[in-house]
């Protein structure tokens, strides 16, 4: 469960009192705020504040919370948003001492957030640790690692900090890492992949945050990787799931299976990535590695219809004064007119628009991963598929079906965007390999 930082609790209490709300509701309001932040973290919910709040209230309704409880939860979270968008403490004091009836002019300020996705921005009780994590985050950004990598490394570093009870970073040794990894394996009973992820995160933390090495790595426990055989679906099973999905999730799944995409690769597709003349789709993959895959001819009409629908939506947004879509990192500064160009529009845009409070602009974001997960789970149950199906299962099925069709494993490796052939070879455990093994002279072919 998400724990509210002391600073957030204090500021929320002050804001609560300033609004003149009954004191007996404070504990309940703090509880709803804690549930909301935990909900956003668990389901990776981001985007417009009102959209996040709407999903949270819908989740409470599914949990059979009463109407009064949902109303108080709505008020508690709304109060939190109001607190985040308020001015700094000095401006608050001026507002409180202002004459009644005089409304203070709205000031565009940067939004303060106590819920940090990446973990390193939140201040802790140890300024030394905060400084080291800032250094580590800077090293990650210089190397242009993904935001998910930054989030993962920072979160493990924070967990390591809490485990050591804010022990001075300058006093850390390899024994501390060994003790922590042993704790994860013995006490927490984490999976081997989780333990190795923690090891890699702390290795980067030591090397680039503390600017020193572990020491003797042979004494640090490493979990043995287990052989994982992916779950794959047959074509009838995939068709049964598609029959239970509505638009646009059915088209998302068709692309996941038809092109072997990862979930984030599919949801972050843009209109410009489709080249129907050449019949190829450009994928901006993991580790900023681009690749191309064939566009499935079976869904070409659906893809073209989607682009047409997205174009109409884009025109309506611009006519309403909205400012197009989000672009990555500093691209918007380099190309200030680019956000309004249709080619940058998301192929699967989110229904709601996202507000950027620093500039007052409104931009459209892509469909969120949680929305696909929420649609996929009931569809699998209705299709009566007795397997654990996630969005990544369709990527596994893509590779397996190509193997069954006697495609060369190196061709599949290229289509999947794997750096190592060893990663692709895992799919040979899913089906019998029927490719011809005996070498022949080219003259005999």
Spatial separation of the C-alpha atoms in residues 266 and 263, rounded to whole Å: 5
User: Which residues touch 361 (CB under 8 Å, ≥6 apart)?
Assistant: 322, 323, 355
Between the CA of residue 38 and those of 13, 31, 56, 160, 198, what are the distances in Å?
19, 11, 10, 21, 22
Banded pLDDT at 11 (limits 50, 70, 90): confident
Contact 306, 299 (CB under 8 A): no
The full set of domain ranges for the chain reads 6-96, 127-219, 232-445
Q: 3-state class of 262 per DSSP?
A: coil
| Secondary structure (3-state) at 435 | coil
Cα–Cα distance for residue pair 311/303, rounded to 1 Å = 12
Q: What is the pLDDT of residue 14?
A: 85
For the cut 50, the answer to whether the pLDDT of residue 109 exceeds it is no
pLDDT band with cut points at 50, 70 and 90 for residue 87: very low
| Rounded Cα distance, 227 and 244, in Å | 32
Q: Is the dihedral of CA 166, 169, 170, 175 positive or negative?
A: positive
d(CA 400, CA 201): 32
Whether the Cβ atoms of residue 326 and residue 268 lie closer than 8 Å to each other: no
The tens digit of pLDDT for each residue in 129-186 reads 989 998 998 898 888 888 888 889 999 999 999 999 989 998 988 888 888 988 888 8
pLDDT digits (tens, 9 = 90+) for 182-204: 888 888 888 888 888 999 999 99
Class of residue 87 by CB neighbours under 10 A (exposed 0-12, middle 13-18, buried 19+): middle
Tell me if 127-219 shares its fold with 232-445.
no
Greater pLDDT, 324 or 35: 35
* β-strand pairing of 349-356 with 280-284: unpaired
Residues known to be catalytic: 262, 286, 392, 395, 418, 427
**Number of helices and strands in the chain (H, E):** 18, 5
Cβ-count burial 200-225 (b if 16+ within 10 Å, e if not): ebbbbbbebbeeeebeeeeebeebee
pLDDT for 405 equals 87
Share of the chain above pLDDT 70, in %: 78
Q: Indicate if the pLDDT at residue 223 is higher than 90.
A: no
Question: Which two structure tokens, joined as six digits, stand for 299?
Answer: 């869904």
Residue 21 has pLDDT above 50, yes or no: yes
Q: How high does pLDDT run on average in the chain?
A: 80
pLDDT digits (tens, 9 = 90+) for 237-249: 999 999 999 999 9
What pLDDT sits at residue 265? 93
Q: What is the pLDDT of residue 331?
A: 58
Output the pLDDT for position 260: 94
Q: How sure is the predictor about 374, in pLDDT bands with cuts at 50, 70 and 90?
A: confident
Please spell the DSSP secondary structure of 156-218, one letter per residue. Answer: HHHHHHHHTTT--GGG--HHHHHHHHHHHHHTS---HHHHHHHHHHHHHIIIIISSS--S-GG
Q: Place 391 in a pLDDT band, splitting at 50, 70 and 90.
A: very high
Residue 354 has pLDDT above 50, yes or no: yes
Confidence of residue 261 (pLDDT cuts 50, 70, 90): very high
How are strands ordered across the β-sheet holding 290-294? 274-275, 280-284, 290-294
Question: In the predicted model, is pLDDT for residue 289 greater than 60?
Answer: yes
How large is the average pLDDT for residues 350-374? Answer: 69
Fold entry, domain 232-445: hpI Integrase; Chain A (1.10.443)
pLDDT at position 281 is 95
C-alpha dihedral (134, 139, 145, 146), degrees to nearest 10: 10
pTM above 0.85, yes or no: no
Is 228 in contact with 396 (CB distance < 8 Å)? Answer: no
Q: How many CB atoms lie within 10 A of CB 324?
A: 21
pLDDT at 302: 95
- pLDDT tens across 392-443, in order? 999 999 999 998 888 888 999 999 999 888 888 888 777 765 555 555 656 5
- Decide which of 49 and 10 is more confident: 10
Q: Which of 157, 124, 26 is nearest to 34 (CA)?
A: 26
The contacts found for 188-193 with CB under 8 angstroms, 24 or more apart, are 191/223, 192/223, 192/224, 192/225, 192/226, 193/223, 193/225
Return the DSSP state at 284.
E
**Is pLDDT at 128 greater than 70 in this prediction?**
yes
Overall fold of domain 127-219: DNA polymerase; domain 1 (1.10.150)
Q: 89-103, 202-216, 287-301, 319-333 — which is least confidently predicted?
A: 89-103
- Lowest-pLDDT range, 1-5, 254-258, 351-355? 351-355
Question: Which of the two residues, 183 and 47, has the higher pLDDT score?
Answer: 183
């Amino acid at each position: 469960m998400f724990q509210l930082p002391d600073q957030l609790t204090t500021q929320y209490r002050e804001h609560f009192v300033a609004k003149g709300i009954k004191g007996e509701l404070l504990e309940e309001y703090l509880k709803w705020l804690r549930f909301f932040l935990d909900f956003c973290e668990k389901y990776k919910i981001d985007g417009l504040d009102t959209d996040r709040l709407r999903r949270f209230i819908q989740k409470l309704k599914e949990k059979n919370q009463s109407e009064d409880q949902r109303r108080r939860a709505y008020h508690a979270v709304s109060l939190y948003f109001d607190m985040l968008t308020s001015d700094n403490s000095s401006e608050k004091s001026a507002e409180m001492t202002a004459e009644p009836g005089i409304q203070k002019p709205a000031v565009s300020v940067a939004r303060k957030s106590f819920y940090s996705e990446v973990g390193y921005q939140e201040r802790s009780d140890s300024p030394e640790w905060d400084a080291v994590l800032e250094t580590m985050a800077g090293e990650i950004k210089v190397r242009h690692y993904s935001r998910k990598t930054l989030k993962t490394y920072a979160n493990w570093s924070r967990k390591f900090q809490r485990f050591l009870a804010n022990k001075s970073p300058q006093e850390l040794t390899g024994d501390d890492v060994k003790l922590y990894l042993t704790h994860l394996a013995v006490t927490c009973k984490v999976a081997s992949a989780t333990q190795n992820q923690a090891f890699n995160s702390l290795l980067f933390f030591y090397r680039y945050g503390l600017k020193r090495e572990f020491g003797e790595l042979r004494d640090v426990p490493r979990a043995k990787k287990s052989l994982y055989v992916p779950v794959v679906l047959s074509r009838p099973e995939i068709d049964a799931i598609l029959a239970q999905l509505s638009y646009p999730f059915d088209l998302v799944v068709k692309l996941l299976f038809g092109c072997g995409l990862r979930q984030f690769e599919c949801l972050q597709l843009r209109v410009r990535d489709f080249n129907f003349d050449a019949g190829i789709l450009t994928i901006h993959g993991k580790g900023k590695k681009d690749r191309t895959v064939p566009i499935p001819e079976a869904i070409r009409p659906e893809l073209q219809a989607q682009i047409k629908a997205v174009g109409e939506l884009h025109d309506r947004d611009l006519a309403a004064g909205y400012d197009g879509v989000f672009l990555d990192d500093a691209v918007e500064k380099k190309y200030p007119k680019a956000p309004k160009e249709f080619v940058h529009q998301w192929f699967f845009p989110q229904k709601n628009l996202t507000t950027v409070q620093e500039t007052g602009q409104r931009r459209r974001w892509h469909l969120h991963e949680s929305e696909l997960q929420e649609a996929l789970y009931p569809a699998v149950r209705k299709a009566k598929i007795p397997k654990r199906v996630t969005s990544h299962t369709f990527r596994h099925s893509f590779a397996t079906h190509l193997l069954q069709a006697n495609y060369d494993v190196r061709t599949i490796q290229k289509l999947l965007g794997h750096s190592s052939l060893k990663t692709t070879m895992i799919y040979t455990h899913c089906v019998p390999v029927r490719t011809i093994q005996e070498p022949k002279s080219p003259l005999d072919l």
